Structure 1
Amino acid sequence: MTNTTMDPITDDSFPDRARAEEIAEKVERFVRDVVIPYESDPRRDHHDCPTDELTQEMRAKAREAGVLTPHIFPEGGHLSQRGTAMVLIRSGLSPLGPLACNTAAPDEGNMFLLGKMGSDLIKERFLKPIVAGEKRSAFFMTEPSQEGGAGSDPSMMMTECHKDGDEWVINGRKAFITGAQGAGVGIIMAKAPEGASMFLVDLPNPAIQIDNVPNTMDSSMPGGHATLTIKNLRVPEEQMLGAAGDGFRYAQVRLAPARLSHCMRWLGACIRANEIATDYVNRRMAFGKQLIDHEGVGFMLAENKIDLQQCQLMIDWCASVLDRGEQGGTESSMAKVAVSEALMRIADRCVQVMGGNGLTEHTIVEQVFREIRAFRVYDGPTEVHKWSLAKKIKRDWKRDNG
């Protein structure tokens, strides 16, 4: 099959491009040669997510190939966001690629946050095993909506914490906590008198009870998306990330790059789905000619090519904003909306041009469709980001018109 991965970088204006290109090429070879054959591996849980056994087996091979956590360096450095895009897009060429290479959510975003904001103790005890691919992590922010808890609006947070001597005591409920089941590290957001705060904890912990792991349409993340109860969880003061009240500020440090990382990985998946669809319509005959020669089919692939290129340019633009040291909240919201909606169109067209074959488990196309549909909701639904952008437009108008 022809390699149709496109370079998302538009110029040579960032210093680590050569290093990023070298890493990206190694990651792509590993995903195509080693990871893709695992897509038919039956080791899946009740939710059809890869088991930890399967994940660790792939990570052992990634470690041997030198592509485990490839965007974070042994000396502690990190590729630029533009360089990270080159690598994460390649890791996303298989739904299993981010797991194998340790570039998956929520670990990738958690590693970025702890690398930026963690104390020496937190980096050694909690960050190091995540970077090494030995432990998975979970980010405990979202709460059950039916109980009035925080979702897209974190100011509604109901999970509370209070100081008791040299420890903090946390109580509350959380929902849709990706990867909580089977995770070894947790980052918990809770409301202190000073404001939202973050804590690092070892998992599992008897004070954190997983109530259920619902079946959801996406199935690429081990551990699913758990609902759980936190009851009298005691955390030593040194395991607080920063100071009490820093939680929302730290969440912003994590969220903009994490949104963009999702765009990178799922762009890789849609590039691969489009490869599969392109191969299919060039081999399949119907009504006396190849499917590609029917305009209704050929035009859909032409639209895919346009959308793929637009996604890459949007990712590169937002990454360049983050690389300048800007917070990038507005830009990442714009990228998240534009890329997730374009990827949905791409995935849908891939299913459509393949007909019945696009609905089966015989290729990853139907899974990519499901995963992208979920992506339009997590890390902020499209409508929430549009609402936030509209509020900024109004603020800017008031500022400019006094």
Structure 2
Amino acid sequence: MNQSPLPPAAEDLRLRTREFIRSVVIPAEPRPGVRLDDGLRRELGEAAKAAGVFAPHVPVAFGGQGLPVDQWSPIFQEAGYSPIGPAVLNCMAPDEGNMHMLNIIGTEEQKRRYLAPLAAGDTFSCFGMTEPHPGAGSDPAGLLTTATREGDSWTISGDKRFTSGAEHAGFAIVMARTPGAGPETDGATMFLVDMDARGVRLGNPIHTIDRTIAGGHPNLHFDNVVVGPEAVLGEVGLGFKYAQVRLGPARLTHCMRWLGLARRSLDIALDRTDTREIFGSPIAQLGIAQEMIAQSVIDIETSDAIITKTAALLVSDPKAGSAMSSIAKVHCSEAVFRVIDRAIQLCGGDGVSDGLPLAQYAAEVRPFRIYDGANETHKWAISRRASSHRRRVVAGGEPFLGAARYPLGAES
């Protein structure tokens, strides 16, 4: 009997992904700290296509495996067991989130022109939201980039920073304020902009400790970039609303991928503690090591549970799922780092050397507490939702549904 929570076809995909990552991808991994070469990425990507594990989240019509959001996690975790696995399987940020959004709100022509080559791994993309201070960062309301309508065209001007993937991207999804246009008087609009368009300029790179996102995190400048009406992604003025279509699942897929890396880190530590002796017994038999191992198992299992709950909500109640994704993002980003940090400690000196990949794993996951909104910003929003819900309960306007329900209420 199949004991997996996945349907049989998805469980088969998980097992095939697991085998592919372990037998093909892990032996090809570059040394810790070295970026994945694009030639090797494409070679391994073709092998993933041949194995039928490429792009698990992409519709079958675009060459993917067609899984719904609530079946992504086990497969993304298997991919994330290798730090290069998600890139090889074409389910790495920022492309994965852009594919998801394009599939939901893109026109048929936009899907043909942008989604199809992105899903095939023939191009990269980036998402232009974050800006230099005092522009949009953890607070998207600070958005300063503007798009002005001139006849049928739009002129985009502004500066972006931390534009992950921009160095290799073929196109950008750019968030720009469009005051007076569309249903929101002070709203924003998303635009699809080719990176070779006149006025698009790569700025200074931002050197970070993570290495798995191809194309780095550079500054990006838009100097009077003119685009036609076909560049509008979704409806004019509703960019902030559409951003949630992308950001909720994108936060969660980060959690999925990094949880896979946490599982590998614990496996490395378990192998080490079972074979190394100290004070006359294997390290795994020492109480202090057992406490660290147990806490790591707890962190992994609670992260897995909250990811599963959030993914189900994203399908059944997207607004609630988006709110819950903030909780998942905070919990998982901190739990995954704790697991890897404990693994380093259990492996001693080798843990902080390049003899093991653990130190690089820590460098990869540490930025996640900042990326996709700093954890402190998410905690602020979570707290506001909890307080707002409680006030409504006390006022008699909403039934009490338990503490677990607090974060899902609307903000006041």
What TM-score results when the alignment is normalised by the length of structure 2? Answer: 0.90
Kindly indicate whether the alpha-carbon contact (under 8 Å) linking 1:292 and 1:298 is maintained by their aligned counterparts in 2: yes
Determine helix, strand or coil for the equivalent of 2:161: strand
> In 2, distance between residues paired with 1:79 and 1:204?
33
Q: Does residue 17 of structure 2 align to residue 24 of structure 1?
A: no
Q: Give the aligned partner of residue 357 of structure 1.
A: 350
CA deviation after TM superposition for structure 1 residue 401, in Å: 3.0
Determine helix, strand or coil for the equivalent of 1:199: strand
Q: Does residue 152 of structure 2 align to residue 166 of structure 1?
A: yes
CA deviation after TM superposition for structure 1 residue 50, in Å: 2.1
Q: Does residue 301 of structure 2 align to residue 316 of structure 1?
A: no
**Higher normalized contact order (CA 8 Å, seq sep 6+, divided by chain length):** 1
**Please, which of 364, 369, 376 is the counterpart of residue 362 of structure 2?**
369
Of 372-381 and 171-180, more deviation after overlay is shown by 372-381
| Structure 2 counterparts to residues 2-151 of structure 1, below 5 A | 12=5, 17-40=7-30, 48-75=34-61, 78-145=66-133, 148-151=134-137
- Which amino acid in structure 2 is aligned with residue 113 of structure 1? M
CA deviation after TM superposition for structure 1 residue 10, in Å: 9.2
> In 2, distance between residues paired with 1:163 and 1:398?
43
CA deviation after TM superposition for structure 1 residue 281, in Å: 1.1
Per-residue CA deviations over 1:156-175 (Å, capped at 9, x if unaligned) read 00001111222111000001
- Aligned identity (percent) is 39
Determine helix, strand or coil for the equivalent of 2:162: strand
Of 364-373 and 84-93, more deviation after overlay is shown by 364-373
- Which amino acid in structure 2 is aligned with residue 92 of structure 1? G
> In 2, distance between residues paired with 1:111 and 1:11?
27
Q: Give the aligned partner of residue 392 of structure 1.
A: 385
Q: Point out where structure 1 has 5 or more consecutive residues left out of the alignment.
A: 1-8
> In 2, distance between residues paired with 1:260 and 1:41?
27
> In 1, distance between residues paired with 2:57 and 2:103?
12
Of 353-362 and 151-160, more deviation after overlay is shown by 353-362
Q: Point out where structure 2 has 5 or more consecutive residues left out of the alignment.
A: 182-186, 396-412
Of 362-371 and 84-93, more deviation after overlay is shown by 362-371
Q: Does residue 239 of structure 2 align to residue 253 of structure 1?
A: no
> In 2, distance between residues paired with 1:358 and 1:41?
15
Determine helix, strand or coil for the equivalent of 1:68: coil
> In 2, distance between residues paired with 1:80 and 1:325?
14
Q: Give the aligned partner of residue 187 of structure 1.
A: 173
Determine helix, strand or coil for the equivalent of 1:399: helix
CA deviation after TM superposition for structure 1 residue 11, in Å: 7.4
Q: Give the aligned partner of residue 3 of structure 1.
A: none
Per-residue CA deviations over 1:205-225 (Å, capped at 9, x if unaligned) read 342211111211111111111
Determine helix, strand or coil for the equivalent of 2:213: coil
Q: Give the aligned partner of residue 210 of structure 1.
A: 202
Determine helix, strand or coil for the equivalent of 1:172: strand
- Which amino acid in structure 1 is aligned with residue 105 of structure 2? M
Instruction: Give the number of aligned pairs.
Output: 385
> In 2, distance between residues paired with 1:21 and 1:72?
17
- Which amino acid in structure 2 is aligned with residue 340 of structure 1? S
Kindly indicate whether the alpha-carbon contact (under 8 Å) linking 1:20 and 1:86 is maintained by their aligned counterparts in 2: no
Per-residue CA deviations over 1:217-239 (Å, capped at 9, x if unaligned) read 11111111111211011111111
**Please, which of 253, 266, 282 is the counterpart of residue 274 of structure 1?**
266
What TM-score results when the alignment is normalised by the length of structure 1? Answer: 0.92
Per-residue CA deviations over 1:265-302 (Å, capped at 9, x if unaligned) read 00001101111111111111222221112222222111
CA deviation after TM superposition for structure 1 residue 75, in Å: 3.0
> In 2, distance between residues paired with 1:38 and 1:204?
32
